[in-house]
Amino acid sequence: MEVSLTPQDVYPSRIEAEPQIRGRQDPVIHSTTRPKNGLTTEQAAAFERDGFISIPSLFSPGEVAALTTELDSMANDPLIASKDEAICEPDSGIVRSIFRVHGMSEVFAALARDERIMNIVRHLLDDDTYIHQSRVNMKPGFAGKEFYWHSDFETWHVEDGMPRMRAVSVSIALTENNEFNGPLMLMPGSHLDYIACVGKTPDNHYKQSLRKQEYGVPDRTSLSVLAEKYGIVAPKGPAGSVTIFDCNTMHGSNGNISPWPRSNAFFVYNAISNRVAEPFGGMKPRPEFIAARENIEVLQALPRGSFAQMVS
C-alpha cells in the first residue's frame, strides 16, 4: 500500500463556495528562548501581538546607496528585462519586480544573509532557513500600481505547497517610505486569522497573478471584518528601514501617484522543516524562481561587516 508523503491540509482554501475566516493553528514565534542578537524582548512581544515589527534605519545610507545602484543596474539591463524573472507593469511596460534577485546578484545575495536580519529570522522560526522567494519591487513615481490585500501564506500554501505558518517576510526599504508613495500597509493582529478564499486556481495563473492577482484575493466582507477588528497601519521611515512580518499577516499597498518612487528588497525565509510539498490546490507547482523547491540552500549568516565591506 502506498503512503502519501503530502502533509495534511490544515489550511484548506479555494474549495468552498463561500469564504471562511479560521483561526491560526501554528505558533507565531517558534523559539521558546529569550530573544537576543538584535531582537529585543519588546520587539518580540510586538511581533507576537501584531504579526510584524519595523526597525528604522537598520542599514546605513552608504549600504542603501550601493543597493540602489545595483537595483538601477538590474532594472535597466535588457538581458534581465527579457527573463521570466522580470515582471513589468501591465500598462506601461516598466519593470515592476525582479524575482530570484538573490540568485542574480551577489550584492542582494549578501543582503539576504546579513546577520542583522538572519539573527531575528532564526529566533522567530527556530530552525535552519532558506529563501523561499526573493524579489525587488519598484513603484515609480506617478505610475506605480497597487498590490491588493492578501495573505502571502494563502498563496504559498495553495499554489506552492507550503505546509504550515513557519515563514517570515523581510522588506528592506531602498527609498523613503512615506504616506504618499504607496507604502506597505498591514493589519496588525490579522496574522491570527486565516481567510480561506473562493475559486479554483487555473494552471499557469502565476503569469497573470504577478501583474494582477484574481485568485487567492480575500473577499471584501472578510477584509472589512479584519480591518474593523485590527485596523490598518503603514510603517514609514527612511531608506534602510526594515519591516519583518509573519507569512499570514494581511497586507497590501496603494498605487503611487506621488512624484517619489518607492523601491524595496523582499526576502521570504522559510524553515527548512517547512519546505514546500505538492501544491495543496492541486495545480502544477509554480516556477522555481517564484517558489524554491529544488534549489534549497540552508543560509549561513554573514557578519554585519561582511556586507558593509562588499558594498563599500
The per-residue pLDDT for range 188-227, each reduced to its tens digit, is 999 999 999 998 776 655 555 554 556 678 999 999 999 9
Would you place residue 7 in the very low, low, confident or very high pLDDT band (cuts 50, 70, 90)?
A: confident
Q: pLDDT value at position 260?
A: 93
Q: Domain map of the chain by residue range?
A: 26-311
| CA–CA gap between residue 181 and residue 167 (Å, rounded) | 27
Specify the higher pLDDT residue, 24 or 256: 24
Question: Would you say residue 135 has pLDDT above 50?
Answer: yes
Q: Which of 33, 40, 34, 10 is nearest to 23 (CA)?
A: 10
**What is the CATH architecture assignment of 26-311?**
Sandwich (2.60)
Mean pLDDT in the chain?
Answer: 90
Per-residue pLDDT reduced to its tens digit, 97-128 = 999 999 999 999 999 999 999 999 999 999 99
- pLDDT, residue 64, reads 96
For 238-255, the pLDDT digits (tens) are: 999 999 999 999 999 999
